[in-house]
Structure 1
Amino acid sequence: MSRLMAGAALALVMAAPVHAQDAEAPAGDAVVGEEAAPGTQSGEATDQTNDPAAADTDDDDDEEAEAEEAGGVYEAGGMHEYGFSGLLDRQNRTELAPLTLASGQPVAGGEYTIKSGGYYRIEINADGSQELALSGGDFFRAIWINEIVIEDIEIRPMGVHSIEFDSAGTARLSFIAVLPGRYTLSVPGSSGDTLQAVFNIQ
């Protein structure tokens, strides 16, 4: 009986190293045969990568997350504060000297110098002495027309080439100057300097 017990104890002692080798290494121990990554401690997870593309992807994900949190609202910073009505607020509007359509009379008293981005209003007065028009496709393409008012009728056109008066009346034109340059509004078929209005947009 004592021999059997001695043999069993010897078998347990011999099997212990085998079980120790089969057991998993503790989390804090380094695995034999593998080198730890530089700058990390043994057993520390190395999830970080040196791939620049992966870093960029992480940044993009952060930006997308921020955009989603903002609710898809993008705000552009403006150069000027124009008030509640924006650029077309009355306080931003400049009244120009009127133009005149009359037989034997100059159209304008001088050249106009206006600023690109400025909001302006000008009246065109006809006395009915002759059927006259003002034409200037280049000028009308260099401005954005807010409206043309004729006898309390407001017209908001997509484009204009000329304005003709068959009888006496007034047309009020409000516009924003856009394209810098020198432009003229002139009576069609005329060649005199007095039968045109010159606009210098700076």
Structure 2
Amino acid sequence: MKAVLIAAALVLGAGAATAQQFDYGFAGLMGKANRVTLPSLTLASGKPVSDAPIDLKSGTYYKMKIVADGSAELALSGGDFFRAIWINEIVINKIEVRPMGVHSLEFDAGGEAEISFIAISPGSYSLSIPGSSGDSQKAVFNIR
């Protein structure tokens, strides 16, 4: 009912109503109370991508940095992981990308990307360096 009255007031020009007047603060899945910052993933020649498996909770909003030191041209690939999450954005050099789908991120030189997403489908997924087979060359995500 409140939403109908607000919409009617706006349509009829009953003043400059704003979201703050009606207490519609930014909340829900992407609100600050539901935001978790994950440890950064590392892309460096001869170094592990992640120290340990990363546990995620379905329905929670996460931010994670991927940092490449430039010691080698490296990528992280994981189509299954990217299909198990909803990606809000990937930020590269202060450019925000809002993709419909991702399969991998490749770094030709040193740099940083930040990905923000909501974990969706429970299961175990990984982001790994293509062509590598060692356990330290991937990050494992467990969505519960």
Q: TM-score range by the shorter chain?
A: 0.7 to 0.9
Q: CA deviation at 1:91?
A: 3.0
**Residue equivalent to 2:126:** 184
SS of the counterpart of 1:140? helix
Gaps of 5+ in 2: 6-23
Q: CA deviation at 1:134?
A: 0.1
SS of the counterpart of 1:94? strand
CA deviation vs aligned residue, 1:115-153 (integer Å, no higher than 9, x gap): 000100000000000000000000000000000000100
- Counterpart Cα distance in 2 of 1:84 and 1:160: 27
Q: CA deviation at 1:85?
A: 3.8
- Counterpart Cα distance in 1 of 2:97 and 2:32: 18
Answer 1 or 2: which has greater strand percent.
Answer: 2
**Residue equivalent to 2:74:** 132
CA deviation vs aligned residue, 1:137-177 (integer Å, no higher than 9, x gap): 00000000000000100000000000000000000000000
- Counterpart Cα distance in 1 of 2:33 and 2:94: 21
**What's the TM-score, normalizing by structure 1?**
0.59
Match of 1:102 among 34, 39, 44: 44
CA deviation vs aligned residue, 1:20-65 (integer Å, no higher than 9, x gap): xxxxxxxxxxxxxxxxxxxxxxxxxxxxxxxxxxxxxxxxxxxxxx
Q: CA deviation at 1:87?
A: 1.5
- Counterpart Cα distance in 2 of 1:106 and 1:127: 12
Two-structure CA RMSD over aligned residues (Å): 1.8
- Counterpart Cα distance in 1 of 2:129 and 2:29: 31
Identical-residue share of aligned pairs (%): 65
- Counterpart Cα distance in 1 of 2:37 and 2:102: 21
**Residue equivalent to 2:84:** 142
**Residue equivalent to 1:89:** 31
| Counterparts of residues 1-202 of structure 1 (less than 5 Å) | 83-202=25-144
Gaps of 5+ in 1: 1-69, 72-81
Q: Which runs of 4+ in 1 moved over 2 A?
A: 82-86
Q: CA deviation at 1:102?
A: 0.2
How many residues get paired? 124
Q: Which has the higher contact order (CA 8 A, sep 6+)?
A: 2
Larger Rg: 1
Answer 1 or 2: which has greater helix percent.
Answer: 1
SS of the counterpart of 1:179? coil
